[in-house]
Amino acid sequence: MILITGGAGYIGSHCAINFLNAGYELVIFDNLVNGRIETVNSLKKIGNVKFIQGDLKNAEEINNVFKENKIDAVIHFAGYLEVEESVKNPAKYYQNNIIGTLNLLDGMIKNNVKHIVFSSTCAVYGEAKYTPIDENHPKNPVNPYGKTKLIIEKILEDYDNAYGIKSICLRYFNAAGADSLSRIGECHEPEIHLIPNIIKSIFKKERTFKIFGTDYDTPDGTCIRDYINVEDLAQAHHLAYLFLKENNKSDCFNLGTEKGSSVKEVFNTAENVTGEKINYEITQRRAGDPAILYADTTKAKKLLNWKCEKSLEESIKSAYNWEKSQF
Ligand code: UDP
């Protein structure tokens, strides 16, 4: 059985579908703070899922999961993920993300589980010194969210040396899109991300999509990011798990499309793909947004045998279909 922490959340649940499609049995452990029970119910219709509502901050709860189930490996998503909130309330992030992970790792040590795939982020790099960003880029996260992820990566290094726990850290760029069959999708409240915000403005006519700044040093003045499809990300977790089984070796990988898209390009693509005219306004820059971030994924292609298959158009289309299915 595979344990997915945070499996009721956005990327965790898409990862769960990937494993279920491959015939694995899953245990999903989630406190349902960001995850949704509706998502768990959708997953249960697809395959063999045991859901345990629990919190990683409770060491006994997670230890019991290992004692009561035969877990082969862990895919670890559980954690808070809002950059702005992490700046305002770092204690919440350090306590939840770090202590939660330490408890999870303790459970692994006690119950002799040796493999973990960790959901990391390109936020571990901080300001881009060069693009595309490869895995050797300096790591200077600029907010507590990114710092918690980097600290966990360091903890995993030490736990490999001391306890033989092998880990793969996957540093994603901007996750985008939804399940191709619209069974699950992205739901954050409040929504802060670009593509869901554009899509929501289609369905909620009272909303106006805001472009945060057109005065960046980029060709059209808006920020450039790397939008990687969530099903492609899910496949990378599966390949990372297989890599651990085969090589029993820790490593880290960037995951992105290697192609930067500006906010205006994403907006125009959304209008084209959906055939909708979308209201927008241009506002000030959002604090802390770097101008350009996109990935070099040579390493994941070479060592994990992974490739990004879905285009920005497909990500936007699936996000649109999912949002439509919610009405
Ligand atoms: N963005 C925007 N309007 C929005 C949400 C985001 O213009 O309603 C911009 C944001 O400034 C950034 C890019 O879109 O340049 C991607 O933002 P997102 O929050 O999706 O991801 P981030 O790269 O910050 O993790």
Condensed to tens digits (0 to 9), the pLDDT of residues 177-214 reads 999 999 999 987 788 899 999 999 999 888 899 999 99
The bridge status of strand 224-225 relative to strand 261-262 is antiparallel
- The CA-based angle 299-302-305, given to 5 degrees, is 115
Cα-to-centroid distance, 319 and ligand 1 (Å) = 16
CATH number at residue 202: 3.90.25.10
Question: Which is higher by pLDDT, 204 or 29?
Answer: 29
Q: Are residues 157 and 270 in the same domain?
A: no
Which of 120, 224, 225 for a ligand 1 pocket mutation test, highest count of atoms within 8 Å of Cβ? Answer: 225
| Nearest-angstrom CA–CA distance, 150 and 165 | 17
Q: Are residues 153 and 117 in the same domain?
A: yes
Condensed to tens digits (0 to 9), the pLDDT of residues 218-264 reads 999 999 999 999 999 999 999 999 999 999 999 999 999 999 999 99
Stretch 305-310: mean pLDDT: 97
- pLDDT value for 191: 85
In a domain, 250, yes or no: yes
Domain that holds residue 317: 194-224+259-298+309-325
* Structural domain count, the chain: 2
Q: Are residues 206 and 148 in the same domain?
A: no
In a domain, 14, yes or no: yes
Residues 140, 143, 144, 148, CA torsion sign: negative
Q: Are residues 220 and 235 in the same domain?
A: no
Q: Are residues 317 and 198 in the same domain?
A: yes
Q: Are residues 169 and 129 in the same domain?
A: yes
Residues with CB under 6 A from ligand 1: 174, 192-194, 197, 210-212, 223, 225, 263, 286, 289
Tokens (6 digits) for 231: 């099903």
CATH number at residue 148: 3.40.50.720
Q: Which of 89, 83, 107, 157 shows the shortest CA–CA distance to 5?
A: 107
In a domain, 109, yes or no: yes
Q: What percent of the chain has pLDDT over 70?
A: 100
Atom of ligand 1 nearest to the CA of 263: 14
In a domain, 136, yes or no: yes
| Nearest-angstrom CA–CA distance, 327 and 325 | 6
| Spatial contact of 279 and 208, defined as CB atoms under 8 Å apart | yes
Q: Which amino acid is at 131?
A: T
In a domain, 141, yes or no: yes
Q: Are residues 90 and 235 in the same domain?
A: yes
Distances (CA, A) of 223 to 155, 264, 283, 303: 32, 9, 13, 30
Q: Are residues 10 and 133 in the same domain?
A: yes
Q: Is 145 considered catalytic here?
A: yes
In a domain, 95, yes or no: yes
| Nearest-angstrom CA–CA distance, 178 and 186 | 7
Rounded to two decimals, the pTM is 0.96
Q: CB under 8 Å to 313, separation ≥6 — which residues?
A: 269, 272, 273
Q: Are residues 26 and 80 in the same domain?
A: yes
| Spatial contact of 312 and 227, defined as CB atoms under 8 Å apart | yes
Cα-to-centroid distance, 262 and ligand 1 (Å) = 10
Q: Are residues 201 and 286 in the same domain?
A: yes
Residue 83's Cβ-count burial label (10 Å; 0-12, 13-18, 19+) is buried
In a domain, 164, yes or no: yes
Model confidence at 306: pLDDT above 80: yes
Q: Are residues 216 and 102 in the same domain?
A: no
Catalytic entry in 10, 145, 172, 294: 145
Q: Are residues 144 and 6 in the same domain?
A: yes
In a domain, 274, yes or no: yes
Cα-to-centroid distance, 277 and ligand 1 (Å) = 20
- pLDDT value for 290: 87
